[in-house]
Chain A
Amino acid sequence: MSHSDTIPLHPSSQSDIDEIENLINASVQSGPATVLPARPPSPPRASIPISSSPFIASNLPPPTYQKPPTAPGPTTPAVIPVSDSRPSPPDPLDSVWDTVKRDLSRIVSNLKLVVFPNPNREDPGKALRDWDLWGPFFFIIFLGLTLSWSASVKKSEVFAVAFAVLAAGAIILTLNVLLLGGHIIFFQSLSLLGYCLFPLDVGPLSLIVVTITLVWSSWAAYPFMSAAVGPRRKALALYPVFLMYVSVGFLIIAI
């Protein structure tokens, strides 16, 4: 069911649909001839144009198919029913450490793609194929905790406001792009906006540094958001992003 000839979708949504179809295929196929290789934990997979790792959480049980005989270690790819070389879903016998290591490496690779200058940033659909929500979750929690620690009073309220502003802000920004007629995948955008918080997390809390990291975050988010809408509405899509980062920056300075 390799659908390279169907209706051309947005490239990033094509990858998600490919993954779903492959998982369905893998569960339908039977017999040892279609054993898929064990999933290698290496990050560079995100640069392969049409492949990415499954976006399901790594602790979900894989669909029923023949497990490869040995768990870790890359084996030579067996006969694969579809036309790309996507690695298999995670082996449930992976140790916890393997799972954590895999998720951490994915977070690091996503971070490198989004926040730091690299050639893939020009093609937003390609850049955050392998999105996940762990990274954004950690960054938001970390930022909330930092703010609440440094607040002298009403610590829990400060954390609540910070978390609410960030989480609701990411959702609302994504909705804004969708409502303006843009093309963006909801969770991919959430993931992206969460990763762009990273500079605000690591910068020490002084006015100048916060301003610099704010500009850095906005710069990181800019190509993805502006590519998602038409050119005449770019400013409309980008202004709320700017507003959110300024308000978060203000919270950091003021508290």
Chain B
Amino acid sequence: MEDAYGSLPSSHLLGSVPAVIPPNEKPENKEGATASMQMFPPGNGGYRAPGSSNVGDEQPATSWAGVFSISSYTPYFNVDTDVVVDRLMSSVYPLRGDFFSKIGANPDLYAPVWISTTLVFMLAALGNCASYLMKKKDPSHQWLFDVAYFNWSAGVVYGYVLIVPAASYFLLQYLGSNGSLIRLWCLWGYSLFIFIPASLLLVVPVEVFRWVIILLAGSASAGFISLNLRTYTEGHDLMVWVVSVFLLQFFLAILLKVLFFA
């Protein structure tokens, strides 16, 4: 595993020539000797820095790969309830653009994980409720619970929230500006929050109402993401990419409506 190479003495040379790093290596922002929050996956399993604490690590940590040790992921979950609630509330207002300053030095992965999991469950459950209400209007149809909704929602939501930020990260690296994968995952995760109350409203079996709701939620979420990305990549002219992110998020909203609340 490449993590083992972190223990070689030449590891401090990584990142010193940014242009020649292939996209799948970790560019280290060497602000300090300890594992930086910019790095993902965490590499402090390869060597034990003297200051590293294994507070949350009650499992036997394999010494060759920090990827499998819980303690190397604990910094990404270092948030309290009020911090998470504050970030959630700010994700609903698309026009502020200050999300990255809110995250600051402490991006968290807790919310993206649980927001997407909640969304997976709600889409599958409420999608079934919605189809049940639609079928009720037409009593000749027999309504059956469709377990496939769970597969679809898991695939769409998890796939989107994992792949799109990762692709954006590699794109940013390629275009030369420095991004942080964790912050991108954090941003995309929080942007999905608004779909949770939206999906509750989408159960109402009135087609026009559903379209209005999803258009509002989609534009709020897309606006949130693109405005924050614009402030994040200030100084670089990446407007094309920001616009495509906006469209992609909007397209996700439409897709959710069509797949689950037809």
Contacts and interface: CB of A to CB of B under 8 A. Distances in A.
Interface of A: 13, 151-154, 157-158, 161, 175-176, 178-186, 232-236, 239-240, 243, 246-247, 250, 254-255
B7 interface: no
A254 B125 contact: yes
B56 A243 contact: no
18 contacts: A151-B145, A157-B147, A157-B148, A179-B77, A180-B56, A181-B55, A181-B74, A181-B78, A186-B59, A232-B82, A236-B79, A239-B114, A240-B114, A240-B117, A243-B118, A246-B121, A254-B128, A255-B145
Contacts of A157: 147-148
Contacts of B74: 178-179, 181
Contacts of B84: 236
A233 B80 contact: yes
Contacts of A175: 70
Contacts of B73: 179
Contacts of A236: 79-81, 84, 110
B56 A232 contact: no
Contacts of A233: 79-81
A234 B81 contact: yes
Nearest to A247: B121
The DSSP consensus for interface residues of chain B is helix
A246 B147 CA distance: 16
Given A179-B73, A185-B58, A240-B114, A254 B145 contact: yes
For chain B, give the interface size range: 20 to 34
A183 B58 contact: yes
A180 B77 contact: yes
Interface in B29-58: 55-56, 58
Contacts of A235: 81
A240 B116 CA distance: 12
Contacts of B58: 13, 178, 183-186
Contacts of B117: 240, 243
Contacts of B147: 154, 157-158, 161, 255
A228 to B, nearest CB: 11
Interface in B55-81: 55-56, 58-59, 70, 73-74, 76-81
B150 interface: yes
A176 B148 CA distance: 27
B197 to A, nearest CB: 15
Nearest to A175: B70
A207 B83 CA distance: 35
Contacts of B1: none
Interface in B129-176: 144-145, 147-148, 150
Contacts of B118: 243
Contacts of A161: 147, 150
Top 9 nearest A-B pairs (CB, nearest first) are A179-B77, A232-B80, A235-B81, A254-B145, A247-B121, A181-B56, A157-B147, A178-B70, A250-B125
Contacts of B145: 151, 254-255
Interface in B77-95: 77-82, 84
